[in-house]
Amino acid sequence: MQYVARPSSRYQQFLNRIPILGDVLRQPLGALGSVIVLVFMLTVLLAPVLAPYEYAQQDIPSMLQGPSRAHWLGTDHLGRDLLSRIIYGSRIALGVAIPAVGIALAGGVVIGLTAGYAGGIVDDVTLVLLDSVQAFPAVILALVILALLGPSLVNVIIVIGLAWTPGYARITRAQVLSTRQHQYVEVERSLGASQKRVLFLHILPNVVAPLLILAAMDLPVVITFEAGLSFLGLGVRPPTPSWGVVLSDGFNFIRHSPWPITWAGLTLIITTLGFTLFGETLRDVLDPRLSGSRGT
């Protein structure tokens, strides 16, 4: 039998050389997600270069125009270039999502490790407190807190971090409970290892992988959540170009121009789709046991 080198073999060799990302890129939907995430990241990095105008630059005579050579995606009610606002909006999306998920992750790990390792009354009280925070649907919790603190970028980050913390705390706690039953942890303990050593050297590393996967999956959820709060006027304040603010401006002028809603909505959907596909493929690659919930 004659061996025929397939045209994709060089690409396959390239993928073999990249440990985790290579496996993600091998899946068609994972590759699509990776491309969208890459484009999004480049947009965030190169926003000032890519945007044809300043995001707040007004041109009242050109307001609410459709796509044209001067304004590829059209303009909003103040004549601001929609493309530039959407490009700069990517910075707000990521600028809120990463610190918010970071706060939730850090808070969740501390609470979950403490509750899971201490056990007893500490664990019981922590569970009741987590339940009581999770009794509020996230949107409602965010609405109430933002109404008190006032709308701003920092407050949105804090609120999302707070709303997401119980989820991470629960997963950390469950991982701690299961890991501490393992024989190697018991052996370590019987050899006289300190609590600190067991907790940070043996339990924490086992907890980190599922949490990082969860964090990757949460990024798109947080991006849409932030845009939703800004749409309600409780998140980022105008003229800062959050995609939610562009949607909200477009909603006020929905009968005059469909373009702000169309472009901001599509951008939000495509970005979320990209992160979701990437996150899910990454999860399947890193932890195939969890892939049952994936429908692809």
Partner 1 sequence: MRTYLLKRFAMTVLVLVLVIVYLTLLVHVVPGDPAKSLLGPRANPDLIAKTRAAMDLDKPVLVQVGNAVWKILHGSFGTDVFTGRSINELVGSALPHTLILAWVSLGLAVVIGVPLGVYSATHPDSWLDRITAVISISCITIPSYVGGLFLLLLFAVKFKVMPAIGLGEEGNVLDYVTHLILPAVALAITWVGYLARLIRASLLEVLNQTYIRAAMAAGLSPRLIFFKYALKNALIPMVAVLGVGIGNLMAGAVFVELIFSRPGMGTLIYNAIQGRNFPIVRAGVLTVAFLFVAANLLADLAYTYLDPRIQLDKVRG
Contacts with partner 1 by CB under 8 A lie at: 29, 128-129, 131-132, 135-140, 143-144, 147-148, 173-174, 177, 220, 224, 227-228, 231-232, 247, 250-251, 254-255, 258, 261-262, 265, 268-269, 272-273, 276-277, 292-296
Q: Minimum Å distance from CB 268 to partner 1?
A: 6
Residues 6+ apart with CB under 8 A from 281: 24, 27, 29, 30, 33
Choice between 52 and 137, CB closer to partner 1: 137
Choice between 53 and 271, CB closer to partner 1: 271
> What are the C-alpha distances in Å from 168 to residues 107, 136, 161, 179?
8, 16, 10, 16
Choice between 147 and 209, CB closer to partner 1: 147
Choice between 48 and 119, CB closer to partner 1: 119
Task: Report the SS3 class of residue 81.
Answer: strand
Q: Minimum Å distance from CB 1 to partner 1?
A: 27
Choice between 147 and 187, CB closer to partner 1: 147
Choice between 53 and 173, CB closer to partner 1: 173
Q: Minimum Å distance from CB 264 to partner 1?
A: 8
Asked if residue 239 has a cis previous peptide bond (ω within 30° of 0), the answer is yes
Q: Minimum Å distance from CB 35 to partner 1?
A: 15
Identity of the amino acid at 254: I
Choice between 53 and 199, CB closer to partner 1: 199
Token representation of residue 232? 């309600």
Cα separation of 218 and 138, whole Å?
13
Listed as own residue / partner, the contacts of 236-239 with beta carbons closer than 8 Å and 24 or more positions apart are 236/92, 236/96, 236/151, 236/152, 236/153, 236/156, 237/151, 237/152, 239/55, 239/56, 239/80
> What are the C-alpha distances in Å from 184 to residues 167, 175, 180, 193, 194?
27, 15, 9, 12, 14
> What are the C-alpha distances in Å from 151 to residues 127, 173, 200, 221?
30, 32, 38, 20
Do residues 279 and 214 make contact, with C-beta atoms less than 8 angstroms apart? no
Q: Minimum Å distance from CB 220 to partner 1?
A: 7
Q: Minimum Å distance from CB 44 to partner 1?
A: 19
Choice between 171 and 198, CB closer to partner 1: 171
Q: Minimum Å distance from CB 134 to partner 1?
A: 9
Q: Minimum Å distance from CB 158 to partner 1?
A: 13
Do residues 176 and 119 make contact, with C-beta atoms less than 8 angstroms apart? no
Closest CA to 247 of 100, 82, 96: 82
